Amino acid sequence: MPIVIDKDIPAYKILTGEKIFIMDKGRADVQDIRPIEIAILNLMPTKETTETQFMRLLSNSPLQVNITLVRTQTYNPTHVEAEYLSRFYKNFEEIKGRKFDGMIITGAPVENLEFEDVAYWKELEEILDWTKTNVTSTLFICWGAQAALHYFYGIKKHPLKEKCFGIFAHKRVQDGEVEPLMRGISDEFHMPHSRHTIIYASDIKNQSRLKILAYSKKAGASIIKSLDNRQVFVTGHMEYDRETLKREYERDKAKGLDIKPPENYFADKEMQQVKMNWSSTSNLFYINWLNYYVYQVTPYKW
């Protein structure tokens, strides 16, 4: 089944070029089917790239998925044109009366700020509260995960001496329980990370309403869930494309920043070839989330 998006959004052309089944909203509206409704609160400055990455992953299930792109109203990003936001994105005020089967809250390049110092923090608090009653399951990514863990559970983020930047091996937590979210994923798998802060696994373990599903010696607790499955926290970036870390590295080098090449990422000394070893895990993870945590538990009518 297809993912349903506006045919004028850049992701439509990119994903159809990859032979992904995309359906525009006009065609979807005449089909007698109950699609899964997913909202994406995109806090990244690279709006087009980020939305395409998530849409690509959400398109791989047998479900018809409607996507609603959401932006903050209290902060106007400077890396994207206002006309683009107005055309393809909704403000929170425009969607707060709706119910969604799932929601993704992305990362944001503000991790060195205190949470309360982020320009849109008050609005994000309102959105986080709203997810408890209006969303079946919410997936929080990177800084979005740190922000939600801080807001809901009082868990702190801690600065790193050196940026956690690269592809790192992770291990599934083996406790004898069957975890649908991790079904089909190998005992050891890889995930990209790009951040200056970390969540300590010990802080998660001290919170009785949370469970660690996977961890990394280098990157810390990486996949965490609430016991009711309504909140999933991923501290890395499974959604990243092959070239994403390369672009981040080259951007920071061009700015004159003291940045080392991403670890375990380049396959050659010239740093041109990328060893992509996380895509199968990414696809399985998002299919599992849509199937087990969204589709099978969301009501037919909200």
Phi, psi of 167 (to 5 degrees): -110, 125
The answer for residues whose C-beta is within 8 angstroms of residue 298's C-beta and 6 or more apart is 36, 101, 102, 136, 137
Classified as helix, coil or strand, 12 is helix
Nearest to 43 by CA among 106, 136, 116: 106
Name the residues annotated as catalytic: 142, 237, 239
The answer for residues whose C-beta is within 8 angstroms of residue 2's C-beta and 6 or more apart is 21, 22, 23, 28, 59, 64, 65
Q: Is the dihedral of CA 78, 80, 84, 88 positive or negative?
A: negative
Token representation of residue 262:
């991403």
Say how many Å lie between the first and final Cα of the chain, rounded: 22
Nearest to 27 by CA among 64, 59, 62: 64
User: In the block, which residue shows the tokens 């961890």?
Assistant: 215
User: Which letter does DSSP use for residue 292 in this model?
Assistant: I
Nearest to 234 by CA among 153, 156, 143, 120: 143
| Structural contact between residues 222 and 170, judged by C-beta atoms closer than 8 angstroms | yes
Amino acid at 261: P
